[in-house]
Every structure is written in structure tokens, then in C-alpha cells.
Structure 1
Amino acid sequence: MRKHINAVQLAQATDAELINFTKEGVKGAFEEIYERHWGQMYIHAYKMLKDEDEAKDVIQELFAHLWTQRDELDLRTSLKGYLYTALRNRILNIFDSRKVRGNYIDSLTIYFEEHHLVIEERFREKELGNIIEREIANLPEKMRLVFEMSRKQHLSHKEIALELQISDKTVKKQINNAIRILKLKISYLFILLLFLR
């Protein structure tokens, strides 16, 4: 095991020698590999990924993998060639995961928007229903009674007139007045509700 190779010798060593020194446990050999190739690998990664943090991460992973696999490393090409190939494969994996993630996010967005609209519509219908009920309850008592008998009990004007002992004309007038009041109040409140949502 070599242990007494100085910094000058490491700087002058070839990549193949540095790999062997690293396998032999020579102190500083792997650091020399890192310093020699980090910059070029980073520039290449950044040009492809267009993201500084992502480029740094992928380079860090690349050299971490090189370190953990140093004993099994059997280069059939130059170290630079090996690093570029390994980096390219990692970047392609990132592109694949970006595409999958992008497709997933797109699908999720479409799903959310469609279901959000349905939920919002139902919510508004329910809210509008509550507003209508509240406004009906606020009508003058006789008008409210006539209106509810017409709309909820589905009685005719004649049936309401007989039951309340009033004229058909009065029934019709009370219902028309109720509708006019409700239209004014509900249209205003519905517009307000749309702007507040």
C-alpha cells in the first residue's frame, strides 16, 4: 500500500494512476480526481439541467458513487469518458423523472380543477339555497305563508284562496310581490357571493 506520495506527484499523475492510487488507499488521490474533474462535470451538468442546485447534486452523487465503487472500478476508457457517460445517464434519469413528475402534476392539476369546479358549484348552490330560505323567512308573514303554500305545498291560487279565505286576486298579488322582493334581494346577494368567493 502506497502512503508517501506527495501533492506534486499526485498533481502530475495520470487519471489511471490516480484511480490505482485511490484503490491502494493513497491519501489525497481521490481528492485530486475530484479537483481535476469537478469543474468540467459541473459545467456540463449545468448546461443540460439549467439548474444550479440540481447540477451540484448530480455531480456530488456522481463522485460519491465513484468513491463507493472505487475497488470494483475497471475502466475500459479514460476516466473523463467514464465520468461523462455516468453523468449523461444520471441526467437522462433526471429528465425522465421530470417528465413523469410533470405529467403527474398536469394530471393532478386537471383533476383538481375539474373537481374543484364541481365542489364549488355545489357549495354555491347550497349557499344560494340557504340564502333563498332565509329571505323567504324574512318576507311579511302573510306573504310568506301564501308563497310557501304555492311553492312548497304546490297548491293552486284557488286552493290557497279557499284555505286562507282570501280572493284569488290577493293570492296572485302576494305571490308576485314575494317573487319581486326575492329576485331583488337574491340577485344582489348572489352577485355579492360571487365576488366574495
Structure 2
Amino acid sequence: MFNQSLDSYQNENALLTGVHQGDEQAFNQIFRHFYPVLCIFANRFLLKESIAKDLAQDALIKAWERRSDFESLPKLKSFLFTCVRNACFNELEKQKVQQKYQEVLVKSGLDVELDTLEKMIQSEVVIRIFDQVDTLPEQCRKVIRMTFEEGKKPKEIAEELGISISNISSQKLRGLNLLKDKLSDQDYLCAVAIFSSALWR
């Protein structure tokens, strides 16, 4: 999955070895591959591109500092997304983002009072939502994560998973329906607010 963008290295093991040895050129390949998708991922939470870029860069710097800890590129990827996600949770606690989420909810046809919305966007709510995303059926979970975390379009997801574009839409709808059963009403509205711009495009 990495070879197309990390083309200076014959295989993932060679790239990872270079990173372990402090090869800045090797890590630059990692940076160029992951930085754009991490920015997209962070911006889904924050709706503020400049902060999203900073958090993505911070995560990559932390990965460089801990480069010897990663046994594989998938583990490195997991670290990066977890790091950015946690940073977003912390950022959400500091920011007054009610209006931004209110606009998303209005576009979704949902009427939520501002004080209720403020409670919904607390980081612990977002954590609960993603905990439940992890319990979704495999195909459904993959479609939602690839859409939301990696910013991939339906055509890209369909090609990677070997399913039709119409199936992608079905999996998105199924995921939200399952989340509705797993989450409280307020948490579900927050999930719709977070996912709406990413899932329905």
C-alpha cells in the first residue's frame, strides 16, 4: 500500500530500516506520504486548516523522535493517527467551536440548541463515538474510517476494497444506522455532525 508514494525504496522493510537508522531521506518519504492525509483527518474534527496542519506536523515529529519504536509501517501509521486524534480531542477542549458545528447540524437538517451542542462536542463524546465505530462490522468500519480518516473518495475506496460504489454508500448508511442504536441521542447527533461533510460527498 505504500510503494506507489514511497518509490525511492524497494520495499517497506528497507524504508523502515532507513528510518530506524535515522535516515532523514527515508523519513521524508514517510512525511510526504502521511502528512496530507493526517491534515485531512485533523481538519475533519477542527474545521480549521492551519491548526490541523500543525497537529499533523507535530505527530510526525513525535514519530521521528520515537522512530526506533515502530516494528512495521502499519504500526507507525496507527501511532500517527492516534496521536493526531488525541491532539484534536485536546484542541476541542480549548476551542469555542459551537457555531461551526451548529452550521453543520443545520445543513444536516438537525435542530439542536446551542447549550446542548456545547455538551455534545466535548472530547469524551468524540471518544465514545470512535469507540463505537471500532465495533462496527469490518467492511462498514473500513469504509467509514477510509472516508473520514484518510479523506478517500468512494471510487478510491471501491477500488481498494474490491466493492462497488453503490456498496460504499450502503455501508456508510449502515454504519450510521448501527451507530444510532449504539449511541445516545445526543452522541448520535454529534456523530452526524462530525461525519456529514465527509460521508455524504
Please give the range of the TM-score, normalised by the shorter of the 2 chains.
0.3 to 0.5
Please, what TM-score do these two structures have when normalized by structure 1? 0.40
TM-score if structure 2 supplies the norm length?
A: 0.39
Larger radius of gyration between Structure 1 and Structure 2 = 1
Q: Which has the higher contact order (CA 8 A, sep 6+)?
A: 2
Identify the structure with the greater helix proportion: 1
